[in-house]
Structure 1
Amino acid sequence: MNFEHLKVFYTAAKQKNFSKTAKILHLSQPSVSSQIQQLEESLNVKLFKRTTKKIDLTQAGEILFQSAEKILNLVSQTEREIAQFSGSIHGELIIGASVTIGEHILPYVLGLYKKQYPNVQIIMKIYNSEQIIKKLSNGEIQLAFIQSDISYPQFCQRPFLEDELVVITPYEWSHSILNDKNYFISQKELFSAPIILRESGSGTRRVIEEQLKRNNLDPDQLNIVLELENTESIKSAVESGMGISIISKVAVLKELRLKTLRQLSIQGIPLKRKFFTIYDDKKLTLPGETFLSFIYSYYKENLGGAKP
């Protein structure tokens, strides 16, 4: 029995779709079909019942699926132990990160990790939080980094850093919000000012809406003039005078220092959140394990980390 064929079979059995399997394993669909066919021929049984819309396991396929999971887990554990023994950690690490984390939090730490583990190939993809969880579920990424505190009981979920959201305005702005030159915006002013926000489904947007609801405020009443999927676009729109926004403070440190944007807090509403790592511990590779350990240690030593 070919081990690579077994991996393809196991993925296809979980996805029930050859095209999704091909995408996850970075193969062509004909290659997936061919490897499944070769495995069936070597075992002299049919493993899948094929229809036009999906594939289902045959009875023989069900038996192989149960054994395949045990075999793949055992091989993965063996590879971990050998790599730790030899002192050589290598392989591919595919990370999915939400916009704020992927653009402003992880790049520097990834660089430090790469210096310590040069044989690990790192790929980071940026999506919103909902997309990331879907890709983690279907195996397209190994580690998820998001800013939503929604519970995902099917995965391990752990905070690694605390973040503060702030209201940003153009530094020089004639709006009445800045007339008294203070560092706060009232709840009434927040709802009257034109506001630019991330798209629905983003972790930042969800935190804002949840915090407003906890303070008996209706987020649907915000005067949203523009929705954007990119943090840099939001900052540019605010700088142009189009409106205000609520954004991670770590994403605007440069603009605050250069005085192109001004930071305000909402009176009576603290906007703090935790950044989380989310993963399936049964499928975590050695590069994934070492990166988690690395990032927890780094933020604990340098920024205090996040309390569970």
Structure 2
Amino acid sequence: MNFDHLKVFHTVAREKSFSKTAKILHMSQPNISSQIRQLEESLDTKLFKRTTRKVDLTQAGEILFQSAEKIIYIIHQTQKDITLLSNSTHGVLNIGASLTLGEHILPRMIGHFKKEFPHVQIVLEINNSDQIIEKLKNEKIHIGFVQSMINSPEYRQRYFYEDELIFIAAKDFILQDSLDFRNSLSPDEIYSLPFILREAGSGTRQLIEEQLIKVNVYPSKLNVILELDNTQSIKSAVEAGIGISIISKASVQHELSLNTIRELSIQDLQLKRFFYSVYDEKKLTPAGETFLSFIHKDKEQ
């Protein structure tokens, strides 16, 4: 039995589609059909019941699928064990991350990781959560990093980073007409201030509004004077003194260090969000396992 044929069969059986399998494995659909036909000929049995709408397994196909799951897992695990035995983690690791993680948090972690594991080549893509899960499903990335738990029980999800959302203003921004340069405000006082936020309907805007509601601050009462579609534009608008904003503290470390932006403290109000790694344990490579172990240090103890 040809292992490549078995892998193609396993993917078709899992996706119940020849066309989806062709996209996932980067093969032509006729090639997929040909490999399935060769496998059926070698076993002298039909593996799929084909209709115009869907692809279902025959009884023989069901038996083979169960075995294929075990065979592929064993081969995958064996490859990892041999790599670990060589005491040299290497290979290409493709990861996908949401914007804040991909631009401001993971690059530092990757830099530290590369110092210890220089033979691992990491390719980082920045996507939204839906795109990350789609790429995981299509095996285009090994690990995804998202800003909230997702409804995908087939993947393992692990907390690995707590992000603080802070209120920011320009260094010389006047909070009140009385030339007030205070950095500490009561929650009620923020309703009169001009806000710059992400556009309505964005994931980040929704998250901020959810966090505000939890601490009895009502987003509908905020004086939103400007909506922008990316973090860099918001930072530039705040630096220009147009208004204040709520943003990930990790994304403004440079501006805070240069003192072009200052952090505002709101009494009894702290906003946090949690980031998670998402992956299929059965398909994790040695490089992926090593990277996860590295970034999850002490998080689950």
More deviation, 213-222/242-251: 213-222
The residue number in structure 2 matching 1:244 is 244
SS class of match (1:176): coil
CA offset digits 1:236-264 (Å, max 9, x no partner) = 34334454321111110111122332222
CA offset digits 1:159-195 (Å, max 9, x no partner) = 2232211112233335538942122344344444233
Distance 1:101 1:56, change over 3 A: same
Supply the distance in 2 between the matched residues of 1:54 and 1:221 (Cα, whole angstroms): 51
Q: Which has the larger radius of gyration?
A: 2
Task: Check whether the contact 1:148–1:206 (CA below 8 A) recurs between aligned residues.
Answer: no
The residue number in structure 1 matching 2:111 is 111
Supply the distance in 2 between the matched residues of 1:246 and 1:133 (Cα, whole angstroms): 27
The residue number in structure 2 matching 1:271 is 271
CA offset digits 1:149-168 (Å, max 9, x no partner) = 56765433322232211112
The residue number in structure 1 matching 2:159 is 159
Task: Check whether the contact 1:145–1:278 (CA below 8 A) recurs between aligned residues.
Answer: yes
The residue number in structure 2 matching 1:196 is 197
Alignment of 1:196-235 (within 5 A): 196-197=197-198, 200=201, 202=203, 204-224=204-224, 225-228=226-229, 230-235=230-235
Task: Check whether the contact 1:18–1:32 (CA below 8 A) recurs between aligned residues.
Answer: yes
Distance 1:284 1:262, change over 3 A: same
Supply the distance in 2 between the matched residues of 1:169 and 1:179 (Cα, whole angstroms): 14
Supply the distance in 2 between the matched residues of 1:194 and 1:251 (Cα, whole angstroms): 18
Supply the distance in 2 between the matched residues of 1:77 and 1:31 (Cα, whole angstroms): 28
Amino acid in structure 2 at the alignment position of 1:292: L
The residue number in structure 1 matching 2:145 is 145
Distance 1:148 1:88, change over 3 A: same
Deviation at 1:51, TM superposition (A): 4.5
CA offset digits 1:268-287 (Å, max 9, x no partner) = 22112333222232332211
Supply the distance in 1 between the matched residues of 2:223 and 2:33 (Cα, whole angstroms): 52
Deviation at 1:105, TM superposition (A): 1.1
Deviation at 1:101, TM superposition (A): 0.9
SS class of match (1:93): strand
Runs of 5+ consecutive residues of structure 1 not aligned to the other structure? 301-305
More deviation, 276-285/147-156: 147-156
Amino acid in structure 1 at the alignment position of 2:167: V
Distance 1:180 1:53, change over 3 A: farther
Distance 1:129 1:201, change over 3 A: farther
With the length of structure 1 as denominator, give the TM-score of the two structures.
Answer: 0.82
Task: Check whether the contact 2:95–2:143 (CA below 8 A) recurs between aligned residues.
Answer: yes
Supply the distance in 1 between the matched residues of 2:124 and 2:278 (Cα, whole angstroms): 15
1:66 aligns with 2:84: no
Task: Check whether the contact 2:197–2:205 (CA below 8 A) recurs between aligned residues.
Answer: no
Distance 1:288 1:201, change over 3 A: farther
Amino acid in structure 1 at the alignment position of 2:158: R
1:88 aligns with 2:88: yes
Runs of 5+ consecutive residues of structure 2 not aligned to the other structure? none
With the length of structure 2 as denominator, give the TM-score of the two structures.
Answer: 0.83
The residue number in structure 2 matching 1:168 is 168
More deviation, 50-59/287-296: 50-59
Task: Check whether the contact 1:114–1:120 (CA below 8 A) recurs between aligned residues.
Answer: yes
The residue number in structure 2 matching 1:128 is 128
- Identity percentage of aligned residues: 56
1:75 aligns with 2:75: yes
The residue number in structure 2 matching 1:257 is 257
Supply the distance in 2 between the matched residues of 1:27 and 1:117 (Cα, whole angstroms): 32
SS class of match (1:72): helix
The residue number in structure 1 matching 2:7 is 7
More deviation, 191-200/93-102: 191-200
